[in-house]
Amino acid sequence: MKNYGVKDVAKLSGVSIRTLHHYDKIDLLKPFNRTEAGYRYYGAKELLRLQQILFYKELDFSLKEIRQLLDEPSFDRLTSLEHHKLALKARKKRIDQLLSTIDNTIYHLKKNTIMKNYKDLYKGLAKEMGTTYRKEAMTKWGKNTIEQSEKDLLKLGKAGFESLKVELATITEELFSIRNESPESKKVQGLIAQHYQIIRQFWGTSVQKDKQASIYAGLGQLYVSDDRYMARDGEAQPEFATFMQKSMQYFSNTQIG
């Protein structure tokens, strides 16, 4: 009949002595006996219980759950494992979403010059074509993007460009008017879909299809960090910025992605 002191158990199992103290205090793992001085001694049974504990702990069960699993025979291991499995799956799904969002964001940060591109377009880039602006932009975001962009705009023609601007303004206005609706509602998402179509015409062929979802989502984030919405004056509409961000994010996740 072997006896193991705290240090032995710690070494054998890999947990810290403090952890053993803790498990003792919360009645998860009691030592086999205690000396008068209070020293803890464990037997083989306790070692094996510890193994079980560690097994379930690795599965991310809480200590409270583990105690129930081990102590209450009525506790249905199978059901709680199935239950736990569902929880883990949910966590995995969430992480996948996070990864996707993070990729969007990274892409957005990397290409924030392209976002600038869009902003400038929206402000009337066409007028400046062929002047000083061009040189600056070229060094900023590379020759090809610019040239493609310009070609697209030229194809559009001045009239076409202006009419797109009007469309965009109109749809934005409509969105503004329903900014209190849920971003995920059909009403909002319908308008967002139109918004997206217009933006795509601005992009022309300069944005590859597989990137459009990311960029569109990033565009939403842009509203929130845009100075025009940040200013603390009467015109600022932070709620609208947030609304647009959420709506566009949701759209790109559910419709484009």
Q: Rule CB under 8 A: is residue 166 a binding residue for its own copies?
A: no
- Applying CB under 8 A, what is the total number of residues that bind its own copies? 51
Q: How far is the CB of 217 from DNA (least distance, A)?
A: 23
Q: Rule CB under 8 A: is residue 106 a binding residue for its own copies?
A: yes
Q: How far apart are CA 4 and CA 12, in angstroms?
A: 10
Q: How far is the CB of 164 from DNA (least distance, A)?
A: 41
Q: How far apart are CA 3 and CA 42, in angstroms?
A: 6
C-alpha 6 chain-centroid distance: 43
Distance of CA 63 to CAs 19, 87, 114, 249, Å? Answer: 12, 16, 50, 38
Non-local CB neighbours of 179 within 8 Å, separated by 6+ positions:
239, 240, 243
Q: How far is the CB of 2 from its own copies (least distance, A)?
A: 8
Interface segment toward its own copies; rule CB under 8 A; list 105-113, 126-134, 158-166, 188-196? 105-113
C-alpha 34 chain-centroid distance: 51
Using CB under 7 A as the criterion, which residues of the chain lie in contact with DNA when the complex forms? 5-7, 15-19, 21-22, 24, 35-40, 57, 62-64
In the bound state with DNA, the residue whose beta carbon lies nearer, of 46 and 150, is 46
Could you say which residues in the range 75-94 bind its own copies, by CB under 8 A? 77-78, 81-82, 84-85, 88-89, 91-92
Q: How far is the CB of 1 from its own copies (least distance, A)?
A: 6
- Which of its own copies, DNA, none does 211 bind, CB closer than 5 to 8 A by kind? none
With contact defined as beta carbons under 8 Å apart, do 20 and 4 qualify?
Answer: no
In the bound state with DNA, the residue whose beta carbon lies nearer, of 11 and 143, is 11
By C-alpha distance, which of 89, 29, 92, 18 is closest to 57?
29
Q: Rule CB under 8 A: is residue 7 a binding residue for its own copies?
A: no
With contact defined as beta carbons under 8 Å apart, do 161 and 125 qualify?
Answer: no
Q: How far is the CB of 26 from DNA (least distance, A)?
A: 8
By C-alpha distance, which of 199, 225, 229 is closest to 213?
199
Choose, by CB under 8 A, the member of 7, 147, 231, 254 that binds its own copies.
Answer: 231
Q: Rule CB under 8 A: is residue 59 a binding residue for its own copies?
A: yes
Which residues in 213-242 are b (16+ Cβ under 10 Å) and which e? bbbbbbbbbbbeeeeebeeeeeeeeeebbb
Q: How far is the CB of 83 from its own copies (least distance, A)?
A: 10
* 3-class DSSP assignment, residue 41: strand
Strand partners of residue 40: 34
Residues near its own copies (CB under 8 A):
1-2, 12, 32, 43-45, 47-48, 51-52, 55, 58-60, 77-78, 81-82, 84-85, 88-89, 91-92, 95-96, 98-99, 101-103, 105-106, 109-110, 221, 224-225, 229-234, 236, 238-239, 241-242, 245
